[in-house]
Amino acid sequence: MLQVCLNGPRGRAESPALPVTPGQLARAARAAVAAGAENIHLHPKDSEGRDTLEAAAVAAAVSAVRATVPGVPVGVTTGSWASSDPGERIARIAAWTVLPDHASVNWHEDGAREVAGILLERGVGVEAGIFSGAGAARAFLDWPDAPRVLRVLVEVTETGAQEAVEVANRLLAELAPTPAPLLLHGQDGSAWPVLRLAAARGLDTRIGFEDVLHLPDGTPASDNAALVREARALFAHPGPAQTG
């Protein structure tokens, strides 16, 4: 499965093609799905372009995207940068009027279990985000509701290609006990090497402006669809798996 991560916490200063408004997200989602994306992850934004968990912003973003790509699962973030207090995050999720299909929960953040709990209570699938270097894998596996998550996001933050591959393999080994599907992806300098590893190992993965702004040859990507097309090409010819 290839997920497109349309924007992340980035702003348009980083790329003029970054989708921010509901309309921009909808158009970007339609192009990305046409290019081969099967699942969507997005960050709703407020009027200042900052990530938000406010009900109105979530409803507008999710509804606009769903109307453009009906039947494609749509997920959102619950990152602490959008709302630093865990109690506030939980209250805002409880107030959502339009529910996404899934939402990511960063397991190294305070209140992760409780945030995941309110999502499960409301019938929203949980993507458990396990960042490299955060030591969160064991905490996640020890959570009694770990088997109920939709998938685990194995998120490699190291930017050196070789180190990223080594860290990815180590994280995958740590998370082997989970029955949940694993989605492996990297950030910036590690995005393409880790995506190649995911393709070679037959794992779900993702690509999009949240993770990387450039194509593998270093040229700026024109939009999310260009990144998805490149990822699909790599899926067709992944090369041998790397073991680190």
Task: Please spell the DSSP secondary structure of 168-218, one letter per residue.
Answer: HHHHHHHTTT--S-EEEEE-GGGHHHHHHHHHHHT-EEEESTTT-SB-TTS
Indicate the average pLDDT of the chain: 93
How far CA 29 is from CA of 16, 19, 61, 62, 178, in Å, comes to 16, 9, 11, 11, 30
| C-alpha to C-alpha distance for 74 and 61, rounded to whole angstroms | 10
Rounded to the nearest 10 degrees, the angle between the axes of helix 22-35 and helix 55-68 is 40
Measured at the alpha carbon of residue 100, what is the angle toward residues 227 and 230, in degrees to the nearest 5?
10
Residue 231 sits at φ, ψ, to 5 deg, of: -65, -40
Binned at pLDDT 50, 70 and 90, residue 238 comes out as low
Q: Kindly report, residue by residue over 6-39, the tens digit of the pLDDT.
A: 999 998 889 999 999 999 999 999 999 999 999 9
Task: Give the architecture-level CATH label for domain 2-236.
Answer: Alpha-Beta Barrel (3.20)
Q: Does the pLDDT value for residue 242 go beyond 70? A: no
Residue 111 to residue 89: CA distance in whole angstroms: 9
Q: What pLDDT is stored for residue 239 in this prediction?
A: 60
Identify the pLDDT of residue 162.
87
According to DSSP, residue 70 is labeled T
Query: pTM, whole model, 2 decimals?
Result: 0.93
The band of 243, judged by pLDDT with boundaries at 50, 70 and 90, is very low
Residue % of the chain over a pLDDT of 70: 97
Does the structure show a pLDDT above 90 at 91? Answer: yes
